[in-house]
Structure 1
Amino acid sequence: MPPEEFRVVEVSEENIGDLCLLCVPPERLDDPVFMMGVELKKTWVKDVLNRWGAVARIAYLGETPVGFIQYVPVTDEKIVHITCIFVPRKEHWRKGIGRRLLTSLVEDMRRPKEWFGGEPPLALVTKPFPGEKPEQYPARNFFKDMGFKQVESNPSLLYFPLKHGFTYIPPEQRESNYIPQEDDKGKVVILYNPSFCPFSYFFLKKSVQEIEKAMPGISVRWINGWEEPVEIERRGISDGIVVNAKLIRSFLLAGREVFLKEVLDALREA
């Protein structure tokens, strides 16, 4: 596909739907749980747009969206974090779409930005996640091919310096600890927020479904941090699964048996 056959457009209020639908696998279009995750993503996108005026770029083939790159400024570090780059359909792979999207972003981020006091950001930073489809080029390899460097102190991070000689050193992350609440005892509490990825809500819902299968009739409370910020603040963490006032550390995706064992152990504790 020659470059002139597709175009790159910044996301605005008018094409938020195109951005979000690119995240939806065809088999999930009629899945109400997944589509709820899409609605939460729309909320997140609108918020980022309102705050920063930019959130993503979409590649179009004619009028059809075929890929996107999504990002958010991190003002205290003076960087731009790339949250995702994605070209979902196999027929569009290895056509230069991802390269064009990233190149477009790099060119724009070399210009002064109000977010950073009228200066360009120091770097683009990303945390590529595994999970590519068969025959799909891994995101990590793609970013490295495009000149991204390994962050020495954190092997999961890559960065592209926009200032000559700049080396990205991530700030130390303070671990947030769950603050047990009396009203969380004897029940499941799901803490969540609108997210840049609809799979976040989808996997939370799947986790709850597994818990309900193992413990029929268990009470479940969902707390949306944007709607109930005081409840999130009380608990000291912004997202997670809490069972009987204990934070669950394992993940369903990493292993169903391990996840359910931790859940059941938490419920058995007095």
Structure 2
Amino acid sequence: MGRRLIPLTLDNLSDLPERCRRCVFWELDPVRGEAAIHAGSAELEKEAWISAVLLEWGSCGRVVYVDEAPVGFVLYAPPAYVPRASAFPTSPVSADAVQLMTAWIDPAHQGQGLGRVMVQTMAKDVLRRGFRAIEAFGSVRRTEPVCVLPAGHLLAVGFKTVRPHPHYPRLRLELRTTFSWKEDVELALDRLLGRKEPILRPL
């Protein structure tokens, strides 16, 4: 089985699931996000956001391919590029961290270690750019209809809560610990990344 992790660009944006290409939950503030959805311009807004981040910061994600077929992705960026983050009660993300926005792996490819490889690839990229940590807003709700990763799954793969909240705690992964992960986190990562595609709703 051949697998590759390729930086996300406009050239391979079409390899993301269609629903994710139209999702601008993180990329726009709540008002602009709702307006884009109602106007039917969310996919164009997504392309514009990725283009701007590419020009100013570089690739903001990785797409996972198995035998040339796209099977997953991870999206991340410095908090200055993530307008929705400011709407969370546990914001802001720390200045020395990149925000893990969202991620997904096709359920048919869970259990193959792709989640672990994807997160470690992201961590290497973030370290190379001079950041010390990855932070994410987690959800403690049983069903989360937006692009927010479950807090329990983030905790299971090494994130620690840095600002608690009854619904949306902010969690942090110190990158110096990333490369000492053991094989037993692989299943937790697959659970984290193998969820159903998110449905966009306002926070």
Q: TM-score band (shorter)?
A: 0.5 to 0.7
1: CA distance, partners of 2:44 / 2:198: 8
Distance 1:52 1:59, change over 3 A: same
Matched pairs, number: 150
- 1:144 is matched with 155
Identify which of structures 1 and 2 has the higher relative contact order when contacts are C-alpha pairs closer than 8 Å and 6+ apart. Answer: 2
Give the superposition deviation at 1:156. 1.5
Larger Rg: 1
- 1:126 is matched with 136
1: CA distance, partners of 2:112 / 2:136: 22
**Which consecutive unaligned segments of at least 5 residues does structure 1 have?**
26-31, 114-119, 165-196, 205-250, 252-270
2: CA distance, partners of 1:127 / 1:103: 19
RMSD: 3.4
2: CA distance, partners of 1:46 / 1:53: 9
Q: Describe the SS at the equivalent of 1:13.
A: coil
Give yes or no for the alignment of 1:101 onto 2:118. yes
Choose which of 53, 64, 67 in structure 2 pairs with 1:48.
53
Give the superposition deviation at 1:73. 1.6
Give TM-score, length-normalised by structure 2: 0.60
**Which consecutive unaligned segments of at least 5 residues does structure 2 have?**
23-36, 81-93, 178-196
Give TM-score, length-normalised by structure 1: 0.46
Distance 1:159 1:5, change over 3 A: same
Give the superposition deviation at 1:128. 3.0
Out of 91-100 and 33-42, give the one that drifted further: 33-42
2: CA distance, partners of 1:10 / 1:36: 24
Q: Describe the SS at the equivalent of 2:173.
A: strand
Give the superposition deviation at 1:139. 4.0
- 2:169 is matched with 156
Q: Describe the SS at the equivalent of 2:20.
A: coil
CA contact 1:17–1:42 (8 Å) conserved in 2: no
CA contact 1:12–1:49 (8 Å) conserved in 2: yes
2: CA distance, partners of 1:80 / 1:24: 21
Structure 1 residue ranges, 4+ long, deviating more than 6 angstroms after superposition: 32-35
Q: Describe the SS at the equivalent of 2:16.
A: helix
Q: Describe the SS at the equivalent of 1:54.
A: coil
Give the superposition deviation at 1:57. 0.4
1: CA distance, partners of 2:39 / 2:100: 23
CA contact 1:8–1:57 (8 Å) conserved in 2: yes
CA contact 1:20–1:41 (8 Å) conserved in 2: no
Letter in 2 for 1:156: P
Q: Percent identity?
A: 24
Q: Describe the SS at the equivalent of 1:144.
A: helix
Letter in 2 for 1:106: A
Letter in 2 for 1:67: G
1:178-193 correspondence to structure 2 within 5 Å: none
